[in-house]
């Protein structure tokens, strides 16, 4: 986990678990530090235990490790948008997350597949934090290109690419904007902006506030 005085550690208004405060999404990855299969399997084990509608578990992951298959890694990297490629190329692991579009039980459309996969990835990111690993998710990639190079079958759709690895030196980032962002504290809406009591818009607060 990052040191407590790291600028990315959440300045939480309410007491939350350290893993939640310390999770953040870097762009700078250490290209020299690979991630072992055993460590990656622990991340997917965390994803495995996520809740899902009808316990359908509609998420699927294709893991591409630079140190195991440079060709596969380069093919997947080529699907990234140029901006994402500019930093993600240093990450030792890329993971393509996909969803099953229909329910296994009925073969009807599963409108909750995205929701479920998001929960699985959220657990994965928290487990990564516990292991000293970092994850940055990306929507900016060519989905059809990724489908082709990862051989994602019909009935499944790629949804997000993840860069996984150990945090690196922000000064290695090629973009000025990204170097600044890498050191800028994370900002969030206040809890009072999105949690209401009884009716929408009615502030939810501590009794003793
Ligand atoms: C579904 C999703 C798509 C994202 N796509 C990108 C992306 O294409 N490029 C990028 O640099 N970051 C991307 N991000 C990272 C977000 O910008 C980041 O999570 C957000 O700014 C909050 O920062 P934090 O994760 O450090 O708290 C994405 C995150 C999610 C969850």
Nearest CA to ligand 1 atom 9: 138
Distance, in Å, from the CA atom of 41 to the CA atom of 29, rounded to the nearest integer, reads: 20
pLDDT of the residue at 172: 97
Distance, in Å, from the CA atom of 186 to the CA atom of 178, rounded to the nearest integer, reads: 13
Residue written as token pair 């059809």: 144
> Which ligand 1 atom sits closest to the C-alpha of 26?
26
Nearest CA to ligand 1 atom 30: 137
Has residue 5 got a pLDDT over 90? no
Q: Is the minimum distance from the CB of 183 to ligand 1 under 6 angstroms?
A: no
Distance, in Å, from the CA atom of 134 to the CA atom of 122, rounded to the nearest integer, reads: 12
> Which ligand 1 atom sits closest to the C-alpha of 140?
8
Strand partners, 30: none
Average pLDDT estimate for 8-27:
97
Has residue 3 got a pLDDT over 80? no
At 16-25, the pLDDT tens digits run 999 999 999 9
Distance, in Å, from the CA atom of 42 to the CA atom of 36, rounded to the nearest integer, reads: 10
pLDDT of the residue at 62: 98
Average pLDDT estimate for 34-54:
98
> Which ligand 1 atom sits closest to the C-alpha of 27?
11
Has residue 177 got a pLDDT over 80? yes
At 78-133, the pLDDT tens digits run 999 999 999 999 999 999 999 999 999 999 999 999 999 999 999 999 999 999 99
CA angle 39, 7, 63 (to 5 degrees): 25
Instruction: Give 206 Cα–ligand 1 centroid separation in angstroms.
Output: 31
> Which ligand 1 atom sits closest to the C-alpha of 8?
26
CA angle 63, 66, 69 (to 5 degrees): 80
Has residue 4 got a pLDDT over 80? no
Has residue 26 got a pLDDT over 90? yes
Q: Is the minimum distance from the CB of 24 to ligand 1 under 6 angstroms?
A: yes
Q: Helices in the chain by DSSP H: which ranges? A: 18-22, 37-48, 70-77, 82-88, 113-130, 143-150, 176-181
């Amino acid at each position: 986990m990052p040191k407590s005085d790291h600028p990315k550690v959440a300045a939480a208004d309410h007491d939350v678990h350290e893993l939640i405060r310390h999770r953040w999404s870097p762009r700078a990855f250490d290209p020299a530090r690979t991630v072992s299969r055993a460590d990656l399997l622990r991340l997917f084990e965390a994803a495995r235990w996520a809740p899902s509608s009808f316990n359908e578990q509609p998420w699927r992951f294709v893991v591409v490790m630079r140190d195991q298959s440079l060709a596969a890694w380069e093919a997947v990297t080529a699907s990234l948008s140029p901006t994402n490629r500019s930093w993600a190329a240093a990450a030792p692991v890329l993971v393509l997350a996909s969803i099953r579009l229909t329910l296994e039980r009925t073969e009807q459309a599963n409108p909750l597949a995205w929701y479920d996969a998001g929960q699985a990835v959220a657990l994965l990111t928290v487990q990564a934090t516990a292991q000293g690993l970092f994850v940055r998710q990306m929507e900016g990639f060519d989905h059809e290109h990724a489908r082709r190079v990862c051989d994602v079958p019909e009935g499944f759709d790629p949804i997000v690419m993840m860069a996984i690895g150990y945090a690196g030196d922000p000064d290695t980032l090629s973009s000025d904007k990204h170097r600044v962002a890498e050191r800028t504290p994370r900002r969030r809406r206040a809890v009072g902006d999105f949690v209401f009591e009884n009716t929408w818009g009615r502030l939810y607060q501590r009794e003793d506030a």
